[in-house]
Amino acid sequence: MKKKIIWVVIAALILGIVIFLASPQLRVKAFVSMYGDKIEAGLNNGSGVPGHLGEYSFNTWEGEHDMLEFILFTRGDMYYGCYYSYDNVPLAFQNTEAELTQNGHDYWEWSAENGSHGSTSEITDHWYYFEAAFE
Protein backbone atom coordinates (compact mmCIF):
# COMPACT_ATOMS: atom_id res chain seq x y z
CA MET A 1 0.00 0.00 0.00
CA LYS A 2 2.81 2.42 0.89
CA LYS A 3 4.53 1.76 -2.45
CA LYS A 4 1.34 2.59 -4.32
CA ILE A 5 0.97 5.90 -2.47
CA ILE A 6 4.61 6.78 -3.14
CA TRP A 7 4.16 6.10 -6.89
CA VAL A 8 1.01 8.23 -6.98
CA VAL A 9 2.86 11.09 -5.27
CA ILE A 10 5.81 10.76 -7.66
CA ALA A 11 3.48 10.70 -10.69
CA ALA A 12 1.65 13.81 -9.41
CA LEU A 13 4.95 15.65 -8.90
CA ILE A 14 6.15 14.75 -12.40
CA LEU A 15 2.84 15.85 -13.90
CA GLY A 16 3.03 19.14 -12.01
CA ILE A 17 6.57 19.79 -13.26
CA VAL A 18 5.57 19.01 -16.86
CA ILE A 19 2.57 21.35 -16.68
CA PHE A 20 4.70 24.10 -15.11
CA LEU A 21 7.41 23.82 -17.77
CA ALA A 22 4.89 23.64 -20.61
CA SER A 23 3.02 26.76 -19.52
CA PRO A 24 4.94 29.97 -20.17
CA GLN A 25 2.35 31.97 -18.26
CA LEU A 26 2.74 29.87 -15.11
CA ARG A 27 6.53 30.24 -15.27
CA VAL A 28 6.25 34.01 -15.62
CA LYS A 29 3.71 34.27 -12.80
CA ALA A 30 6.12 32.31 -10.59
CA PHE A 31 8.87 34.84 -11.42
CA VAL A 32 6.61 37.76 -10.46
CA SER A 33 5.57 35.97 -7.28
CA MET A 34 9.21 35.34 -6.36
CA TYR A 35 10.79 38.68 -7.35
CA GLY A 36 8.00 41.20 -7.98
CA ASP A 37 7.81 42.70 -4.49
CA LYS A 38 11.62 42.96 -4.23
CA ILE A 39 11.83 44.67 -7.62
CA GLU A 40 9.02 47.10 -6.77
CA ALA A 41 10.62 47.91 -3.40
CA GLY A 42 13.92 48.72 -5.12
CA LEU A 43 12.19 50.92 -7.67
CA ASN A 44 10.19 52.76 -5.01
CA ASN A 45 13.10 53.42 -2.65
CA GLY A 46 15.52 54.43 -5.40
CA SER A 47 17.94 51.51 -5.01
CA GLY A 48 17.00 50.05 -8.40
CA VAL A 49 16.50 46.46 -9.44
CA PRO A 50 18.08 43.94 -7.06
CA GLY A 51 21.15 42.21 -8.44
CA HIS A 52 20.12 38.76 -7.21
CA LEU A 53 17.66 37.78 -9.94
CA GLY A 54 19.71 34.78 -11.02
CA GLU A 55 19.93 34.32 -14.77
CA TYR A 56 17.28 36.94 -15.54
CA SER A 57 18.21 40.25 -17.10
CA PHE A 58 16.07 43.27 -17.78
CA ASN A 59 15.77 46.27 -20.04
CA THR A 60 14.24 49.65 -19.37
CA TRP A 61 12.14 51.02 -22.23
CA GLU A 62 11.12 54.64 -22.12
CA GLY A 63 8.10 56.15 -23.81
CA GLU A 64 4.84 57.81 -22.93
CA HIS A 65 4.62 55.12 -20.24
CA ASP A 66 7.96 53.64 -19.11
CA MET A 67 8.45 49.91 -18.57
CA LEU A 68 10.95 47.54 -17.02
CA GLU A 69 10.94 44.37 -19.12
CA PHE A 70 12.17 40.85 -18.30
CA ILE A 71 12.52 38.33 -21.15
CA LEU A 72 12.41 35.10 -19.21
CA PHE A 73 12.79 32.60 -22.05
CA THR A 74 12.34 32.02 -25.75
CA ARG A 75 11.03 29.19 -27.91
CA GLY A 76 11.97 29.58 -31.54
CA ASP A 77 10.86 33.06 -32.61
CA MET A 78 8.63 33.52 -29.55
CA TYR A 79 9.63 35.62 -26.55
CA TYR A 80 7.97 35.20 -23.15
CA GLY A 81 8.28 37.33 -20.08
CA CYS A 82 6.84 40.10 -18.00
CA TYR A 83 7.20 43.79 -17.47
CA TYR A 84 6.62 46.30 -14.76
CA SER A 85 4.54 49.23 -16.03
CA TYR A 86 5.33 52.25 -13.88
CA ASP A 87 1.94 53.80 -14.71
CA ASN A 88 0.07 50.46 -14.61
CA VAL A 89 -0.71 50.74 -18.34
CA PRO A 90 -0.55 47.71 -20.67
CA LEU A 91 2.17 48.11 -23.32
CA ALA A 92 3.44 46.35 -26.43
CA PHE A 93 6.73 44.43 -26.44
CA GLN A 94 9.74 46.68 -25.80
CA ASN A 95 7.35 49.61 -25.45
CA THR A 96 6.96 49.97 -29.20
CA GLU A 97 4.24 52.23 -30.47
CA ALA A 98 2.21 49.29 -31.79
CA GLU A 99 -1.45 49.82 -30.98
CA LEU A 100 -2.97 47.50 -28.40
CA THR A 101 -6.39 46.03 -29.08
CA GLN A 102 -8.26 44.89 -26.00
CA ASN A 103 -9.54 41.35 -26.46
CA GLY A 104 -10.91 40.48 -23.05
CA HIS A 105 -10.98 42.05 -19.61
CA ASP A 106 -7.22 41.99 -18.91
CA TYR A 107 -5.87 40.85 -22.31
CA TRP A 108 -4.55 42.92 -25.23
CA GLU A 109 -3.04 42.04 -28.62
CA TRP A 110 -0.75 44.03 -30.93
CA SER A 111 0.77 43.66 -34.38
CA ALA A 112 3.36 45.60 -36.36
CA GLU A 113 3.74 46.20 -40.08
CA ASN A 114 6.73 43.86 -40.28
CA GLY A 115 4.62 40.86 -39.22
CA SER A 116 5.65 40.94 -35.58
CA HIS A 117 2.80 40.39 -33.17
CA GLY A 118 2.07 39.54 -29.59
CA SER A 119 -0.14 39.88 -26.58
CA THR A 120 -0.06 41.09 -23.02
CA SER A 121 -2.22 40.38 -20.00
CA GLU A 122 -2.30 41.74 -16.48
CA ILE A 123 -0.85 39.54 -13.76
CA THR A 124 -1.35 41.98 -10.89
CA ASP A 125 -1.12 45.74 -10.40
CA HIS A 126 1.77 47.08 -12.52
CA TRP A 127 2.88 43.58 -13.64
CA TYR A 128 2.02 42.19 -17.08
CA TYR A 129 2.75 38.95 -18.90
CA PHE A 130 3.76 39.15 -22.56
CA GLU A 131 4.29 36.97 -25.59
CA ALA A 132 5.95 38.36 -28.71
CA ALA A 133 6.69 36.77 -32.09
CA PHE A 134 8.98 38.06 -34.81
CA GLU A 135 8.78 37.02 -38.45
If one counts every other C-beta atom within 10 angstroms of the C-beta of residue 38, the result is 13
Judge whether residue 79 has pLDDT over 60.
yes
Per residue in 96-131, pLDDT (tens digit) is 889 999 998 899 999 988 889 999 999 999 999 999
Per residue in 33-70, pLDDT (tens digit) is 999 999 999 998 888 888 777 778 888 999 999 999 99
Higher-pLDDT residue of 20 and 57 is 57
Global confidence as pTM? 0.81
The mean pLDDT of 72-85, rounded to a whole number, is 92
At 2, is the pLDDT very low, low, confident or very high (cuts 50, 70, 90)? confident
Higher-pLDDT residue of 20 and 26 is 26
Mode of pairing for the β-strands spanning 67-75 and 78-85 = antiparallel
